[in-house]
Amino acid sequence: MINSVPKILVVGDLMIDHYLWGNVNRISPEAPVQVVDVQRETTVLGGAGNVVNNLHAMGCTVGVISAIGDDEVGEELKDMLSDMKVNSYLIEEKGRKTSKKSRLIASHQQVVRYDRESKEDIKPKTAHAMFEEFKFFCGEYDDYDIVLLSDYGKGVLTDQLTSDIINHARSKGKKVLVDPKGKDYSKYKGAYLLTPNKKEAIEASGIEIVDDTTLIEALKKLKDVAELDISLITLSEDGIAIFDDKLTIKPTVAREVYDVTGAGDTVLASLGYALAYEKDLVSALEFANLAAGVVVGKLGSATATLDEIEDYRISLHKGSIGNHIKTFDEIKVQVERLKKMGKKIVFTNGCFDILHRGHVTYLDTAKSFGDVLILGLNTDNSVKRLKGDDRPINAEDDRAYVLAALESVDFVVKFDEDTPYELIKLVQPDVLVKGGDYEGKEVVGSDIADEVKLVQFVDGQSTTKTIERICGV
């Protein structure tokens, strides 16, 4: 379980993504073009700002260093960062145009984009001021766990500034992750890893990637050119490839792709988030893949919250049955997340030794009382104390696995006590469900749950009768 909030510093090209949303119902009489009836207008942080957006959505403490123009767009950008309570250290450069990209969206399709910005390198004086800020917040002040460089080629991350930042960060023992731009990756020499997509990697390496052999060649070349710890290439629908001492490809997890705008920002942010918690690289890649899968299912530059990523993971891995079997500590985390989302939690428990129609019907009914069904399962020791030494027939791991595979069951938690009272105290369910044979009896945990529901059993269905038939009794 994560014990602290990661603190991540972002340096790069900040911009504003501006959207005009509308519908098309006719062609202009003036020219053969669509007439868009604009219904609404939105602005969000773009470029390195979208990395900041994603980190903020994940609950990080975020700092950002950049250069902007002394213009109206720059003031708008500062206000947006201030509203998010982001620690921003922005150097204004006289005469520079702060980047703003405007997109016209009609019926969920981008019709046109127009940009207003400066793309030349920032002045040496501006770069020096940025580096002085960076040294203070990544050294003397030493308040950030990891550094992310978001290079959109708009002139903020000059060659010298990029080199200075990476070298200083490494001297302080901090990883630097870079979303690169351009063809010469020697600019990023000494970074921990880069996150180029396949097209960018082909351009930077000069190697046409057509199979695993050429993929490895490209990964090796980029690793050598930039002296990386880890070489990585994102492969769109094919996932993310890394090369350490061997090739590893983590497959994509996107179900539907509506818009890839900002997906690279999400990969950079989510990798930074995971590595700031010192997750191993493979786990970090899996997390980044999930986050990217969330955002490409949205229209426009988008973010992925931890709740969205977790829900997405669960939905994708419903078939991965083991993911639905939780320990006490793990279910506590899930319950906290579900309650924040306003989900109605249902709890029931039992031995469920030989699963039959009566069990399945009971559980299906229990699930209908809320949004999420958590099932407390008696361990083998608990079953023996309750039913005798000849039970259970099926071991606890087998019973948990079968139950977790049911559509109606969201989570299974094994408990070793005679009653699930401690587990119910942990879950604090909205609804507690027991069998109809508890009519007129005290239900364990009824003092905790908001509501108790009794469900009648299916006639003729029981584990005891099933055993008797097997034994010929």
Residues involved in catalysis = 265
DSSP secondary structure letters along 82-106: HHTT-EEEEEEETTPPPEEEEEEEE
DSSP secondary structure letters along 99-145: EEEEEEEETTEEEEEEEE---SPPPHHHHHHHHHHHHIIIIIS---S
Please compute, for residue 368, the number of CA atoms within 13 A of its CA located in the half-sphere on the CB side: 9
- Yes or no: say if 90 and 7 are a contact pair by the CB < 8 Å rule: no
Q: SS3 for 440?
A: coil
What does the alpha-carbon distance between residue 24 and residue 399 come to, in Å, rounded to a whole number?
Answer: 56
Q: Helix H segments across 317-353?
A: 328-340
- Yes or no: say if 39 and 7 are a contact pair by the CB < 8 Å rule: no
Residue located via tokens 């009824």: 446
Backbone φ, ψ for residue 118 (5° rounding): -105, 140
What does the alpha-carbon distance between residue 396 and residue 346 come to, in Å, rounded to a whole number?
Answer: 22
| Straight-line distance from the first to the last Cα atom of the chain, in angstroms, rounded to the nearest whole number | 50
Instruction: Supply angle C-alpha 241, 244, 249, rounded to 5.
Output: 20
Q: Which residues contact 250 (CB under 8 A, 6 or more apart)?
A: 239, 240, 241, 242, 282, 285, 286, 289
Gyration radius from the chain CA atoms: 28
Give the strand pairing for 231-234 and 240-243.
antiparallel
Backbone φ, ψ for residue 121 (5° rounding): -60, 145
Residue 412 parent element (H or E): strand 411-415
Residue 173 parent element (H or E): none
Backbone φ, ψ for residue 174 (5° rounding): -110, 135
Instruction: Report CA 68 to chain centroid distance, whole Å.
Output: 29
